[in-house]
Structures are given as structure tokens and as C-alpha cells.
Amino acid sequence: MSSQTLSFDFPNTAMPRGKLLRTYLTEAKYESVRALRAPAFAIPFLLLPIALYVLFGILLAGSVSHGDASISRIMFVNFSVFGVMGPGMFGFGAFVATERTQGLLTLKRALPMPKASYLLAKMVMTMLFSVMIMATLVIAAMAFAHTRLSISQFLAVAGIDILGSLPFCAIGLMIGTLASGKSAPAFVNLAYLPMMHLGGLFYPLPKSVQRIEFASPAFYLDKLGLRAVGAPSLDQLSMGAPTVHGGVAPMIYVFILAVVTPAFAALSIRRLQGGNVRRAVARD
Amino acid sequence: MNGDYLAELSGVHKRYGNTIALDGLDLQVRRGELLAVLGPNGAGKTTAISLLLGLQQPDSGSVSLFGQSPKRVEARRPIGVMMQEVALAEELRVREQIDLVASYYPNPLTPDAVLEMIHATPLAGRPYGKLSAGQKRQAQFAVALCGRPKLLFLDEPTVGLDVQARAMMWETLRQLVRDGASIVLTTHYIEEAEALADRVVVLAKGRVIASGTVNEMRALITRKHISCATSVTVDSIESWPGVEIVIRDRERLHITASNAEAVTRQLLNADSDLQELEVHRAGLADAFTELTQEVAP
């Protein structure tokens, strides 16, 4: 035994508010640290959006648009949505599924971790990634793209998309509560890829199937960003509408995204709280 | 809550579909004791611990941890937990894992102090994902201790540890109990319970089938082991009253008997050259086997 003197006489188990705040901050810090250290997570989600944006959104689109600011703006907004979707969906989907199936979540539920700390930490981590992704996209757009946007417009898009990553966190969380650690990335992709492509981010959908866009939260987030920079969507552009037109009030988009988030989150949290029953039977 | 009980299950029933996991289980954890919970697979050990940790709800009966529902985070603040089959975050270093869990407690030990206490200081800066199985158990042990728990729940804590690390963990556990902590230990290693436990509870089919000190448990069975070097044949000894098992290992005979004194007297009468006589009573493992066989289907 070492010289460390132990005393287990701490009858008071109350947690002062300052220490409770420290718990939340510590959880968020380590969640972010571990995500940044996980190469399979950090490298694709930090580098892919900027690499694809520069390649397709700036170089390729720039060469065909002949300096059309609308195209540049659409590309910036669409790649921003693509950028923030990934960390939210995979950060919650894959991490929660792994931690659920590998017992870490059960251990944390048994330990005196404040209930909200686990998900809040993941949310902070996701938003940190979103901030970093948006920073790289904004810098690239300001330096190389002909968006002719003001700094406040750039910041508006960044703000919308950073907050707009929350519905994707909630959808990812839902998958994380259903899938196993190994199958979660595949299931997240099954939701992520169609949501991205059917949201009309990269190409206009044929008119006959355009209504399917309404099923994708990416579509609504994209619309909000386009509104903020006064650009039409790819669909509108393909139909010969060079400027943004009336359509639905942006509050509707905000409302839909705001409903998706708590709905998926509430369903998922219910599942998480009763989630270890089968494990216990299997092990007993 | 009875002031002597830190944790208590009273008349707890729990079933999963048609499977009865707990069938009116009563279990108390007393202040300052190391309680070993033993039982064959399917006995209800994991379910009982899950209920005490607030991970599940009983179908009926009551569960209390420090006089409160274990669902309350306040009730869980005085506890430390080490589970089996848990993977901590691979990317975090051991010191960071401890720092994180320590933040859940009002008066934690520093990561360095915990690691020093369990003689695992060299692990501090290592990423968890790069540790061996035994080192991972040590890191999990440190995580369980960092909040200065009054009550520790340990599920198979020494699986995967080498002999030296296991001895060190046993010594730490004994020291913790001397310092006033209580420990609930679930283990498959009967010798671990025998070496450490103040009290043993044996579960089978969701009920307590026996409980008491290690000595009381051993005394529950009357059978003893006799061994000696003798020329008396196995066949003849097998016919003696009270003899249950006779095994010859070269010139030594190993006899299990319910009336060891009479059998020993008979052996000495039958062979005046008998040598190296040893008589010892059954261990906890024998008691465990006999007890759980009695309730087996």
C-alpha cells in the first residue's frame, strides 16, 4: 500500500454548483479530445468537406459558371450543409452505438454522471467540429470563390449550419440507440447519403420526384442558408429562376428542423434508459 | 433504511419474458464488509447488481442505495463501479479517463494519487486502447476508486490479471475495507471470495440459498478430504460407510468422506505402515458446488 492516506468519510454527497458545471465541461472536453484523436472520425469529417468544396464547389463550378455569384453562393451553402451533417450523424450514431454495445454507457449510467452530461458533451463535440468545418469553408470561400458575400452573410450561414447540425445529431442518436457498434456506420450511411442526395444538395432533382426533398432535413437547412445569402436552390436555378422567389416562409423550415430534433432525441433517450435489459439477461 | 445497510434489496422480483431472474431476493450490504456474491450462471447475480446500481427497475419489491432510490444520482455519488466487459474510450489516456470520472464526484482523488495507490503509475500517460487486458482492468479499477467510494461494486475484477497484479488488487481491496469502505464482489473465482470476503451470499435461481461467513459456509457441509500413502486398495475403501469418493494418485489415496474421523480410524487399523496422513475440511469451492447442486434442476 502506498503512503496515500484514504478517508472515506464524506457523508455529504451534495455537489456544489461550481463542481457540477466542471463535470459538464470535463465531459465535453474529453468527448471533443477523443473525437479529434480518432483518425477515422476527425480526418474524414474535417478534411472531406473542404477538399470537396474546393474541388467541386470552387474549381469545377467556377469554371462553368463564368463568375456567376449565384452559383458560387449555392455551392458554398450546399457544401456547408454537407459539412455539418457528418459529425452530427456519425458522432452520435457511431459513438453512441459503440458505447452502448461495449458497456461504457452502462458504466456511466451506474456512475454518478449527471444524466444530461453524456448527450450534452456529444453535442458540444459536434458543434466544435461544425465550427471548425465552417471556418475552413468560409476561409476558402472568401479567398477563392466569387460569392460576393459580406462577412455578416458568411457568419449568418455559419451560424445557421452550426445550429442546424442539431437535427442530424438527433437522427444520429436514434440510429445509435438501435444499431450495434459494428453496424451503426452502415446504418448512418443509409440515412446520411439519401438525405444528402435527395435534399437536392449536389444536383437538381427531376421535377417528378422533387417532392421527395421535403422528407430530408438537409433540404430545409439548405433552404435557410440560401435564404440568408439571397440565392436560389439548384432546383429553382435549373427551372430558370435565377433569384430566390417567395415560396414558404423561413420560419416553417426552422419549425420543421426544430420539431425533428426533440422528437428524435426524446425517442432515443427513452430507448437509452431502458436499453440494457437484454444485456443483463445474456450475461447473468 | 436500516443504518447498518448501505444497500438493500427486499423481496425483489424481476423477470424477462418467461425467465425469472430474481424470485423474491433479499440482499443487504452492511457497513464495512466485503460481501462476495456467488452463484452459477443464470443465478441472478448481474440482475441483482444492476438493480442496486439503478440500471433496472424491479417488477416488485424495493431497492435502496444509501437510503434512496439508486436511480437518483445523489444515491450513486458514494459508490464506485467496476464492470465486466466494459471498453473505456480508446483514445483517452488513463489519466484522462480517471480525471473524467473523478469530475462526477464532490471530493475525488487526483488521477496520480489513485494510480499510485494501485501501483499503476506507469499507465498514466498511456492511451487506453494500447493497454493489455490486465492493464485495462487496472485502469478500470482506478476509475472505480477515484471518487473515494464508500461502497464499491466490483464485477470479476481480477479476470485477465497476472498473479502479481491480482495479489496487489487483493491487497488494495483489503486496505479499502480496513479504511472503512464496503465492497460487493461478484466473482467466479471461489478462492478470491475465500481470500477476501467477510460474508458470502450464494444465489441460485434468483434466490439466496445460503449466506454467512466463509467459515460458516464451509461448516454447512460435513464432508472432509483425507489423503495418505497406503497399501489399502481403492475397492475396499469404497465399501466403507461414509466414503464418497476414492482416487489413487500413484501411492497416495485421496478420499472424500462425510465421517472423516471414523474413516481415518479404520484406515489406521487396516494399514499400520500408513504414512503422510492429512485430513482437511472442505473449502468454499466444495460448499459452493454442493449448495448449487442441491437446487439444480
Count structural domains, chain A: 1
In a domain, B291, yes or no: no
Assess contact for A124 and A33: CB atoms under 8 A: no
The pLDDT of residue B262 is above 50: yes
Nearest CB to A277 within list B56, B90, B172: B56
Q: What does the pLDDT look like over B65-110, one tens digit per residue?
A: 999 999 999 999 999 999 988 999 999 999 999 999 999 999 999 9
**Same structural domain for residues B137 and B277?**
no
Q: Which three cell numbers stand for residue B211?
A: 449466506
pLDDT at B220: 72
| Per-residue confidence band for B297, with pLDDT thresholds at 50, 70 and 90 | low
* Residue closest to B177 by CA, chosen among B292, B31, B59: B31
Is B293 a member of any domain?
no
Q: For all residues of chain A together, what is the average pLDDT?
A: 86
Q: How confident is the model at residue B295 (pLDDT cuts 50, 70, 90)?
A: low
- What are the phi and psi torsion angles at B12 (to 5°)? -85, 130
Domains identified in chain B, total number: 2
Assess whether B206 and B238 both reside in one domain. no
Asked if residue A281 belongs to a domain, the reply is no
Considering the domain architecture, whether residues B185 and B267 belong to the same structural domain is answered as: no
**Is the CB of A276 less than 8 angstroms away from the CB of B56?**
yes
Query: What pLDDT was estimated at residue A230?
Result: 85
Q: Kindly state whether A16 is in contact with chain B, defined as any CB-CB distance less than 8 angstroms.
A: yes
Instruction: Please check the confidence at residue B248 and state whether its pLDDT lies above 60.
Output: yes
Cα distances (angstroms) measured from residue B190 to each of A64, B195, B202, B251:
76, 9, 11, 29
Low-confidence ranges of chain A (pLDDT < 70): 1-12, 240-248, 274-284
Interface of A with B in 245-284 (CB under 8 A): 276-277, 280-281, 283-284
Same domain, B261 and B195: no
Question: Which residues form the domain of A172?
Answer: 21-273
Measured between alpha carbons, how far is A57 from B118 in angstroms, rounded to an integer? 56
The whole-angstrom distance between B84's CA and the closest CA on chain A is 9
Which one of B49, B57, B86 would you mutate to disrupt binding with A, by most A Cβ within 10 Å of its Cβ? B86
Burial of A114 (0-12, 13-18, 19+ CB in 10 A): middle
CATH number of domain containing B81: 3.40.50.300
Q: How far apart are CA A33 and CA A30, in angstroms?
A: 5
Predicted confidence at residue A10, as pLDDT, reads 40
- Here the cell at position B14 is 424481476
Q: Is residue B290 in some structural domain?
A: no
In this prediction, residue B183 carries a pLDDT of 97
Q: Mutating which of A7, A8, A115 best tests the B interface, going by the most B Cβ atoms within 10 A? A: A8
Establish if B258 belongs to a structural domain: yes
Residue B287 falls inside a structural domain = no
Q: Indicate the residue among B167, B183, B218 that finishes a domain.
A: B218
Both B55 and B201 in one domain: the answer is: yes
pLDDT at B1: 44
pLDDT digits (tens, 9 = 90+) for B191-210: 888 899 999 999 988 999 88
For residue A12, tell me if it sits in a domain: no
**Is residue B254 within 8 Å of B225, Cβ to Cβ?**
yes
Nearest to B104 among A9, A111, A281 (CB): A111
Classify residue A52: in a domain, yes or no: yes
Annotate chain A with three-state secondary structure. Answer: CCCCCCCCCCCCCCCCHHHHHHHHHHHHHHHHHHHHHCHHHHHHHHHHHHHHHHHHHHHHHHHHHCCCHHHHHHHHHHHHHHHHHHHHHHHHHHHHHHHHHCCHHHHHHHCCCCCCHHHHHHHHHHHHHHHHHHHHHHHHHHHHCCCCCCHHHHHHHHHHHHHHCHHHHHHHHHHHHHCCCCCHHHHHHHHHHHHHHHCCCCCCCCHHHHHHHHHCHHHHHHHHHHHHHCCCCHHHHHCCCCCCCCCCCHHHHHHHHHHHHHHHHHHHHHHHHCCCHHHHHHHC
Q: CB–CB of B46 and A284 under 8 A?
A: yes
pLDDT at A277: 41
Q: How far is A8 from chain B (nearest CA, A)?
A: 6
Residues B65 and B106 in one domain: yes
Can you tell me the distance from the alpha carbon of A11 to that of B243, in angstroms, rounded to the nearest whole number? 55
Domain of B12, in residue numbers = 5-218
- What was the pLDDT predicted at A274? 66
Q: Are residues B152 and B94 in the same domain?
A: yes
- The pLDDT confidence band at residue B153, using thresholds 50, 70 and 90, is very high
pLDDT at A27: 97
pLDDT tens by residue, B6-29? 999 999 999 999 899 999 999 999
Task: Based on the fold, state whether residues B274 and B133 are members of the same structural domain.
Answer: no
Inside any domain, residue B208: yes
Residues B157 and B236 both lie in one domain: no
Cβ neighbours of residue B235 under 8 Å, at least 6 residues apart? none
Separation in Å, CA A35 to CA A153, A218, B89, B261: 30, 23, 10, 68
Question: How confident is the model at residue A241, as a pLDDT?
Answer: 57
Are B154 and B42 in the same domain? yes
The predicted model gives B266-287 an average pLDDT of 85
On whether residue B54 sits in a domain, the answer given is: yes
- Indicate if B41 and B10 belong to the same structural domain: yes
Cβ under 8 Å to B: A residues 194-253 = none
Cα–Cα distance for residue pair A7/A246, rounded to 1 Å: 69
Distance CA A41, CA A35 (A): 7
**Euclidean distance between CA atoms B151 and A104, whole angstroms:** 20
Question: Is B108 part of a structural domain of the chain?
Answer: yes
Instruction: Please tell me the distance from the alpha carbon of residue A218 to that of residue A199, in angstroms, as a whole number.
Output: 5
| DSSP one-letter code for B121 | G
Judge if B64 and B199 occupy the same domain.
Answer: yes
| Cβ contact B87–A103 (<8 Å) | yes
Mark B155-174 as b/e (b = at least 16 C-beta within 10 Å).
bbbbebbeeebbebbbebbe
Q: Supply the ipTM of this predicted assembly.
A: 0.85
Residue B269: which CATH number?
A: 3.30.70.980
